[in-house]
Structure 1
Amino acid sequence: MEQLPSTFVNGFHDEESVRKMQYNQFGRTGLQVSKISLGTGTLSKFYGDLDAATGIKAVHQALRKGINYVDTAPYYGQGRSEEILGQALKDVPRQAYYVATKVGRYELDYENMFDYSAKKTRESVEKSLKLLGVDYLDVVQIHDVEFVEDLSVIWNETLPTLEKLRDEGKLKFIGVSAYPMDVLKKVIVGAPGRFDTVLCYCRNTLIDDSLKEYIPFFEENKLAIICASGHGLGLLTNAGPQPWHPCQDQTKLICREASEYCKQQGVELGKLA
């Protein structure tokens, strides 16, 4: 690219790699975000055990090479992801990255997993700030809104609390995430102009490209679109998915056959996907 992004820091970044990275306008936020971002669910134990030192090294490598958007959540390792990411970010200039976290989903046991109340939302943001070691969060997303019993809680408690925290300078932009695309649309329609970003996952892959149908709606609402889990939570990789993966056995079988073929050819399925 001819012009370096505003997140470029001389002496920290590998300039050659940064110039090779593609950066896109992030909805109406004014941010210029790398096409590839870094998800940190792997800093928890979602995909097997990963020691903190390896995780920190991976974060540093990604940021130096030009990735400038990092996503985490309290639910990832029940704070472990945010904690390790915070350790990594101590050695990174604040200008060099945008950090996004979430509210609403927390514990492993279902009875305590979700809480979209105003009180818990504020507590969660304050805790994330401490764990990440930052003065403000670039993006805070409402996590997996399909699990709230009544969507009015999102509109009347979670969202207003995030807006207050934004006014206090503790966060800059507000987003929403979910797996069902129709739920995402419903939440956004119910709060016109109040969301800045939308995150969906596993919806722009070789086995599910349903995101495409909703892109015009998201763009019409000037939302930054974050497409997570481009490999279908491990389905479209040579390593394959974790035992907890929720998809149907037939889909797993098809993807396993594809990965075995790629292994025989010396190719990583994830690169093709």
Structure 2
Amino acid sequence: MGTERTTDITDAVVDSFARTADPRLRELLGSLTRHLHAFVRETEPTMAEWEHAMGFLTATGQRCTGTRQEFILLSDVLGVSMLVENLNAHRGPGVTESTVLGPFHMTASPARELGATIDLVGTGEQCVVSGRVLSRDGTPLPGAVLDVWQADAEGFYDVQRPDVQPPGNGRGLFTADDEGRFRFRTCVPSPYPIPVDGPVGRLLGATGRHPNRPAHIHFIASAAGHTPVTTHIFVAGSPYLGSDAVFAVKESLVKDFAETDDPSLAREFGVANPFRHARFELVLEPE
């Protein structure tokens, strides 16, 4: 009798969406209802557990601000963000792999000239990041736009410590040259923990999971006639490459930030010699 009654509830909720005008919305709500009700029937939460779950979701929403997105963080640590990325990554061979946006793409990156630095506080080991933006067939993409953001050498984004970092630190919007080339100066990124002072952090603590991410720089690369890619470049040899808290590491995105001893190249880039240098190509899929 109990099973029949719970099934009746599920059918009634699904039926209540029958007049939804948007067919995709109707499909999503029906599927969500069936899966959510199946989870509840399988686990049989107590009223106290249900109230605790509602409190957790409420606290997650309350922790969101204009510069922090706790729900994206929750999606990240549950692997949902990476799953959605993978399901939508219909790209041909050789195209740069995508990964999660993350919770800190919350402010606009300032436009900067090629070769400029995004490290406005001058901490950490200095390096140069350079490369090309190409179409899948190897054709350079002049005028491609690269939105770049990263944490500082201590593992914090500008929006996390506005009293320490000026707005836009670790961020830049660059336009590739006529040969699709780009370059900028920054500090070598370091591993860092995702924020643990909210409900997502408490969830990780309760489950014995660490909150750490390997060292990386975020990119969104776009060009006319091509599908944009949201991705990271991870520092080879960084801790946590095999246990990223948000499951975002892909082998093809791990790059060497090599120590380079080349005085002429250092003068060209405007850095002291020797320096760390990461070189790679971002390859986009034609639309």
Tell me the TM-score normalized by structure 2.
0.24
Tell me the TM-score normalized by structure 1.
0.25
Q: Which has the higher strand share?
A: 2
Larger RCO: Structure 1 or Structure 2 (Cα < 8 Å, ≥ 6 residues apart)? 2
Find the structure with the greater CA-based Rg.
Answer: 2
